[in-house]
């Protein structure tokens, strides 16, 4: 029986894939599998993965004929996974030796639906510790209770799928798949759904994931239209949260977070190509019109003057007919 499935999408990361695969090798176990999904890479990544399928214990290699993006690649891996537990890793990141056995032992001891873990962000030679924004560690908690308060950074603001491990029963309940085709912010609707609908989770101070920041091929470094998928992602968060039994309590958090992310992108609009910048403004204005207006008013009133003013100006902007993400 496969105890743990590790789903690892790769796309044009030939420079980093060998480090990722070596770290998986240092975590291999007879009851672990590593589902390696190549999302139609155009560099040497497929050759590296084909070799890994032969040399890495438990490796399963899957190749997309067309590039579908991170969400779609993760879904492919989920559909192939056989483990009792599932976790994720990106193809340009790496993990410490023995991390997965320790992570698995912790979640089995706790017996909860999922656990979240801290991680190390790596930018060049700089290492920065990032913690799950929840103080209680090693205790089983209600995921829904970790969504609020609206004006604080909470667990739904720490969306990284690779920072944790998830029991298969969540997959059986339809909570582990990502929104197909989202090119960025794919983990936002995903983490919100987990926290609204799962029954139990815990936070661990277990370090092992090393997240490589500043990779040139990452969408966070590329100012093209794919980055605007955050609007589709947060539209989904707001729409699904509005249907929740506690929508009155949870919507202020969803809308405020949406506004904060939108304001962030507007504040760095110079990184976008001019046509994309114009599209960001039109899509952003339309997004503000779609939000529950009373909740939006309260969110803007709660934000600092600079961000709120930026969004209020955008809110007054005429919206072209048919503007949608």
Give domain limits for the chain: 4-220, 223-315
pLDDT category of residue 221 using cuts at 50, 70 and 90:
very low
Q: Is the pLDDT of residue 222 over 60?
A: no
**Is residue 170 scored above 60 in pLDDT?**
yes
**Predicted confidence band of residue 247 (pLDDT cuts 50, 70, 90):** very high
pLDDT of residue 216: 54
pLDDT in tens, 34-53: 999 999 999 999 999 999 99
The predicted pLDDT at position 258 comes to 98
Long-range Cβ contact pairs of 236-242 (< 8 A, separation 24 or more): 236/179, 236/188, 236/189, 237/188, 237/189, 237/192, 238/290, 238/291, 238/292, 240/189, 240/192, 240/193, 240/196, 241/192, 241/196, 242/292
Instruction: Answer whether residue 218 shows pLDDT above 80.
Output: no
pLDDT digits over 266-320, tens only?
A: 999 999 999 999 999 999 999 999 999 999 999 999 999 999 999 999 999 887 6
CATH topology of domain 4-220: Spore Coat Polysaccharide Biosynthesis Protein SpsA; Chain A (3.90.550)
Query: What pTM does this model have?
Result: 0.93
pLDDT in tens, 98-147: 999 999 999 999 999 999 999 999 999 999 999 999 999 999 999 999 99
């Amino acid at each position: 029986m496969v105890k743990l499935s590790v789903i690892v999408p790769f796309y044009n990361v030939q420079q980093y894939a060998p480090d990722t695969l070596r770290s998986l090798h240092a975590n291999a176990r007879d009851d672990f599998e590593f589902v390696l999904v190549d999302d139609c890479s155009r560099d040497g990544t497929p050759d590296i993965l084909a070799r890994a399928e032969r040399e890495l214990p438990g490796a399963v290699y899957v190749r997309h004929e067309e590039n579908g993006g991170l969400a779609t690649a993760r879904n492919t891996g989920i559909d192939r996974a056989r483990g009792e537990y599932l976790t994720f890793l990106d193809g340009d990141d790496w993990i410490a030796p023995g991390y997965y056995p320790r992570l698995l032992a912790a979640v089995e001891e706790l017996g909860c639906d999922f656990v979240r873990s801290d991680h190390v962000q790596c930018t060049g030679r700089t290492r920065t510790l990032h913690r799950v924004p929840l103080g209680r560690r090693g205790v089983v908690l209600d995921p829904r209770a970790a969504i609020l308060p609206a004006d604080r950074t909470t667990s739904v603001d720490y969306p990284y799928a690779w920072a944790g491990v998830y029991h298969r029963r969540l997959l059986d309940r339809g909570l582990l798949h990502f929104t197909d085709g989202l090119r960025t912010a794919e983990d936002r609707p995903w983490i919100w759904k987990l926290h609204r609908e799962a029954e139990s989770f815990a936070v661990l101070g277990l370090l092992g994931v090393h997240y490589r920041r500043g990779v040139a091929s990452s969408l966070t470094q590329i100012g093209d239209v794919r980055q605007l998928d955050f609007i589709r992602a947060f539209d989904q968060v707001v729409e699904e949260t509005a249907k929740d039994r506690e929508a009155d309590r949870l919507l202020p958090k969803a809308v405020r977070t949406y506004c904060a992310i939108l304001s962030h992108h507007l504040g760095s609009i110079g990184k976008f190509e001019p046509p994309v910048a114009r599209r960001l403004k039109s899509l952003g204005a339309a997004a503000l019109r779609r939000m529950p207006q009373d909740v939006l008013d309260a969110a803007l009133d709660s934000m600092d003057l600079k961000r709120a003013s930026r969004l209020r100006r955008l809110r007054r902007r005429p919206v072209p007919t048919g503007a949608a993400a």
